[in-house]
Amino acid sequence: MFYLKLAWKNLKTSPKQYLPFVMASLVLYVLVTSTNLILSSPTSDKMKFGVMTLNLALIVLIIFSVIIELYSYSFLMKQRSREFGLYNILGMNKKQVSLVSTIELIILWVGTVVLGTLLSSVFANFFYLIFVHLIQYDQLNFSLTISGLFLPILIFGVIFILLWIVGTSMIGKSSPLMLFRNQEQAEKEPKANIFLAFLGLAILSTGYYLSLTSEKKDGLSLVSRFFIAVLCVVFATYLFYISFTTWYLKRKKANKKYFYQPEHFISTSQMLFRMKKNAVGLANITLLAVMSFVTIMVTSSIYVGFQQSVKEKFPENTQVLYQVSDRAEGQELMQKTIQEPLANKVGPQISYQFFTRQVSVSDQGGVLNLSRDAVNPTNIAFPVIVTQEDLRKFGNSVPHLDKDQIALYGRTKENPSKQLNLFGQTYEIRHYEDVERVKLPEATNLYNAMVIVVSDDQVLANIAQSGNGEGEENHIFYTSFVHLTDTERTKVATAVKKVSRGEIKNNKGEAFPFAYTGYLENDQEFRESSLLISGGFLFTGFLLGLAFLLGAALIIYYKQYTEGHEDKKSYRILQEVGMSKSFVKRIINSQTIFVFFMPLVFAILHFVMAMPMLLQMLSLFAIKSSSLIYIVSLLTILVIILIYYLIYRLTSRVYYQIVER
């Protein structure tokens, strides 16, 4: 009972000491619980994929919770080392000190679970409304379930057991004197390591190079390149802060004209002696900020890009598509499934044929080769081949093409190739543009899409004959986009089903050879299915971005808190010898500006350098509009800068209140 009272008294008398750890635990618990409650809510089968995107968020949040909780609790234990050392000196052995720490941890876990569950019941509804609004789906029934509440309790129970192991080992490995003095152990002035400085610069340059030269990389090679670049930037960021910041501060110290100004003398000296600890913290803040930038930008781009793709994919509100042998067969199919059911009273309609299949891409001696054989997963593409007449139906300006000429809309802004070898047939590339500039529905929803424009149907048929392998289905498609009312769409859908079942014959009284491939899709259905995916991604990005910013804010707060207590004695002496409060504030501002905004500047630099690779990664989701991605990226940067500035204002005030007399 004595130890329970002592533990409870410690929690009551030192709320400021425990507050950051408690707040971090509560926020993480609410995020994990709210996400799990949405996942465990009853859903329809159509909704499963949209909700499954939250599984990624839940896994990352759990891992992140373990890391942040360990970091936060280790910091708390070090801050209390004097208190534990005093207990030890006054007669309590290590087991008894550990018992007090364990009881405190149990109380904190129970408090986190109880208060976190109450808050989660409120915030989970709020998150649910955001999620449902993003995916625009009202058949997800949110409810508080036992399974939804039990898993977070279990997860945080395991996390707090890990914290207990860490805390007990820290107490057990320290002597009473070490515990008493641990909080005041001074940092030695680090040495500026030129080798590490250049090594970090070289590795960082490698990561930037991999990103800046990734424009032509596809598929698996892009993914592997991305992970290598990430590892380079992470490793180089730590080396850069450990080496460069020390070198920079020592250069400032060597500049007597700068260093011997009172505000520079104090702030530079303090930061130089703490740079070993500061360097890792600054690197952590930088990386967490970059993770926030990337997560929010990518998921927002997917969400906005998918909405934009609906308009590009559907020039009219309904699409009917068939595999066909030639244009005449396609026209006959549209006559049977659209014109005749509607008594030839059809609204605006655009019909065309195209050929597409997966190919392997290579560039040899100025000749761009597209082959269906030995497809390499690292350089695949999906060319869409149409005639010049059909492409002009969408308002595209295409120069006149002869039979041996093509117009190419490719994946790069410039085309180094003069000729195209397509399934063994060579064509002159007369006109080239970026694929983003072409208007064609099929170019909006294919990964690594290319649009190849040929002169006429005969050339397209020859390409299709060469491109279709033995035993493969025909890859020529005929499609119509038409504006239909709901009633008209129902009639057309019925006709498409009859054609597929062979109930509607061609003009010769025979079943259409590829009738079973027919399908009908409308823009509303496509929008809804896209929202299930993109809305889930955006909500995941929102949760993870919030968690990463929480981690950065927590590290910043702890840095300011511990450094404020370390500097308190020094500033007290300086104020006693005549330093004014306004001068103290000026010194604090010069120090906090360096600590706060250096990570933000480098996070933005990392993010900007990653843009070429992120653009390519987003093309995996058929998001090809670079202007859209740049706008989303700029808005993401501005929002995070604002949040970061608010964190700066709050934590610098904490530091000032601690050191001010």
Q: What is the pLDDT of residues 100-143, one digit of tens each?
A: 888 888 888 999 999 989 988 888 777 777 777 776 666 666 67
Non-local CB neighbours of 465 within 8 Å, separated by 6+ positions: none
| Last residue within a domain, chosen from 523, 543, 560 | 523
Tell me the range of 145-159, 275-289, 297-311 where mean pLDDT is highest.
Answer: 145-159
Domain boundary among 140, 156, 185: 185
Domain boundary among 475, 506, 523: 523
Domain count, the chain: 3
Give yes or no: residues 654 and 548 share one domain: yes
DSSP class of residue 517 equals G
Pairing of strands 380-387, 449-454: parallel
269 pLDDT above the threshold of 80: no
Q: Is pLDDT larger for residue 382 or for residue 133?
A: 382
495 and 539 both lie in a single domain: no
Residue-wise pLDDT for 193-202, tens only, equals 677 778 888 8
Beta strands in 39-163 (DSSP E): none
Instruction: Please indicate, yes or no, whether residues 661 and 643 belong to a single structural domain of this protein.
Output: yes
With pLDDT > 90 as the criterion, what percentage of the chain qualifies? 7
Q: Is the dihedral of CA 275, 276, 278, 284 positive or negative?
A: positive
At 492 the three-state DSSP class reads helix
Same domain? 563 vs 488: no
Average pLDDT over residues 230-259: 81
Residue ranges making up the domain that contains 383: 316-523
Instruction: Give the orientation angle of helix 15-39 with respect to helix 523-576, to 10 degrees.
Output: 170
Q: How do residues 353-364 score in pLDDT, each as one tens digit? A: 999 888 888 777
Confirm whether 29 is domain-assigned: yes
Helix (H) or strand (E) holding 111: helix 94-135
Residue 309: is its pLDDT beyond 80? Answer: no
Structure confidence at residue 206 as a pLDDT band (50, 70, 90) = very high
Same domain, 375 and 519: yes
Residue 195 within a domain? no
Please indicate, yes or no, whether residues 536 and 415 belong to a single structural domain of this protein: no
Q: Is residue 215 part of a domain?
A: yes
Q: Give me the amino acid identity at 155.
A: I
The torsion angle over the Cα atoms of residues 212, 435, 519 and 515, rounded to 10 degrees, is -110
Q: Residue 382 in 3-state DSSP? A: strand
Structural domain includes residue 644:
yes
| Overall average pLDDT of the 161-178 stretch | 77
Max avg pLDDT among 94-103, 111-120, 164-173: 111-120
Instruction: Answer yes or no: do 342 and 463 share one domain.
Output: yes
**364 strand-pairing partners:** 367
pLDDT band at 44 (very low <50, low <70, confident <90, very high): very low
Domain assignment present for 106: yes
Write out 131-178 in H/E/C secondary structure: HHHHHCCCCCCCCCCHHHHHHHHHHHHHHHHHHHHHHHHHHHCCCHHH
| Position 560 in a domain | yes
Q: How confident is the model at residue 190 (pLDDT cuts 50, 70, 90)?
A: low
- Flag whether 191 is in a domain: no
Instruction: Let me know whether 475 and 538 are in one domain.
Output: no
Report phi then psi at 41, rounded to 5: -75, 150
Would you say residue 193 lies in a domain? no
Specify whether 461 is located in the same domain as 592: no
Name the strand (E) or helix (H) holding 654: helix 626-659
**pLDDT score recorded for residue 481:** 92
292 and 333 belong to one structural domain = no
* 230 three-class SS: helix
Q: Are residues 370 and 307 in the same domain?
A: no
Which residues are CB-contacts of 411 (< 8 A; sequence separation ≥ 6)? 215, 216, 381, 434, 435, 448, 449, 450, 619
| HEC sequence for 419-486 | EEEECCEEEEEEEEEEHHHCCCHHHCCCCCEEEEEECCHHHHHHHHHHHCCCCCCCCEEEEEEECCCH
- 305 against 401, higher pLDDT: 401
CA 393 to chain centre: 37
* Range with lowest mean pLDDT among 237-246, 386-395, 476-485, 635-644: 237-246
Report the relative pairing of strands 318-323 and 519-522 from DSSP bridges.
Answer: antiparallel
Q: Is residue 297 located within the same domain as residue 348?
A: no
